[in-house]
Every structure is written in structure tokens, then in C-alpha cells.
């Protein structure tokens, strides 16, 4: 009976899959959902686990028209995957990535960022409108004198 239990235990241990965690995107440059004033020269994705040694690796950045703005050369260093960009103009860009580490589990994802100066907050427009209305009122009163 003990031998049977030991045999079943060994089979159970050998048959259970080993736990391997899939890498997760930890940080991105430019940041996810960000608005940057100066156009970046590259996209850098940092994962929480090592992704080098596998492959293939792909980072594709497209502009609002769907035109690809990434260069074809991608650098991989342990947990970081980097792709150079062409010169970007103001607008919204989409980053799509596909990374296949050594454990053969493909990690994919996408995010957006925007290049260009941020728009002023709503309160600035309200203040500007109030100032213009006040100036018109003062000019009208002075003209009536």
C-alpha cells in the first residue's frame, strides 16, 4: 500500500506542470496614455521578467493615418525591448508590441500616446471669455459717454 501511494505521489509530481509566469509590461517610454511635448526618438518597453533569449520581438508604432513610424531594428536587453522611431509630428500614436520570451508564451499588447503641447484646461477658456466680455462692456460704457 505504501509503495502504491509513493508511486501515485511520484506520478502526480511528474505530471503537474511547472509554474512559469508570463512577463508583464511594467513600464513604457513614452508612458501609456501620456501626452509628451517633445517627440520621442524611440519606444522602450520594460517588462517585469526577462524577455531576452526568445524571439521574435516586434514593436510597431503607427500614426493617426495608420502609417508605420518605427524603424525595423529592435534591441533586446534582458527585460527591455527598444525600437527607434522616425521623426514624429504632433498627433496621436498607437504602440503595438509582441514579445516571445524563452518560455514560448507570446506577450502582446497595445497603448496610445500623443505628441504635442497639452491643451489649456477649461478654466483658462472661461477666464479668457470673462475678460473679453468685461473689456467689451467697459468699451461700450466708455463709448456711451
**What is the mean pLDDT of each successive set of 10 residues along the chain, which is 145 residues long?**
58 54 89 92 92 84 93 88 93 93 86 85 80 81 81
The predicted structure's pLDDT at residue 9: 61
Cβ atoms of 116 and 35 within 8 Å: the answer is yes
Nearby residues of 1 by Cβ (< 8 Å), 6 or more positions away? none
Cβ atoms of 92 and 114 within 8 Å: the answer is yes
What is the three-state SS of 89-136?
CCEEEEEEEEECCCCCCCEEEEEEEEECCCCCCHHHHHHHHHHHHHHH
Cβ atoms of 97 and 61 within 8 Å: the answer is no
Structural domains for the chain: 21-119 (2.60.40.1220)
**pTM beyond cutoff 0.95:** no
Amino acid at each position: 500500500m505504501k509503495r502504491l501511494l509513493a508511486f501515485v505521489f511520484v506520478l502526480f509530481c511528474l505530471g503537474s506542470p511547472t509554474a512559469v509566469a508570463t512577463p508583464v509590461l511594467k513600464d513604457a517610454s513614452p508612458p501609456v496614455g501620456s501626452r509628451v511635448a517633445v517627440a520621442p526618438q524611440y519606444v522602450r518597453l520594460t517588462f517585469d521578467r526577462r524577455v531576452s533569449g526568445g524571439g521574435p520581438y516586434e514593436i510597431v508604432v503607427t500614426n493617426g493615418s495608420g502609417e508605420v513610424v518605427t524603424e525595423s531594428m529592435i534591441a533586446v536587453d534582458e527585460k527591455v525591448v527598444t525600437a527607434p522611431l522616425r521623426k514624429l509630428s504632433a498627433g496621436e500614436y498607437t504602440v503595438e508590441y509582441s514579445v516571445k520570451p524563452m518560455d514560448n508564451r507570446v506577450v502582446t499588447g497595445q497603448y496610445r500616446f500623443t505628441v504635442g503641447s497639452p491643451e489649456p484646461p477649461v478654466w483658462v477658456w472661461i477666464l479668457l471669455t470673462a475678460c473679453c466680455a468685461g473689456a467689451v462692456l467697459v468699451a461700450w460704457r466708455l463709448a456711451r459717454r
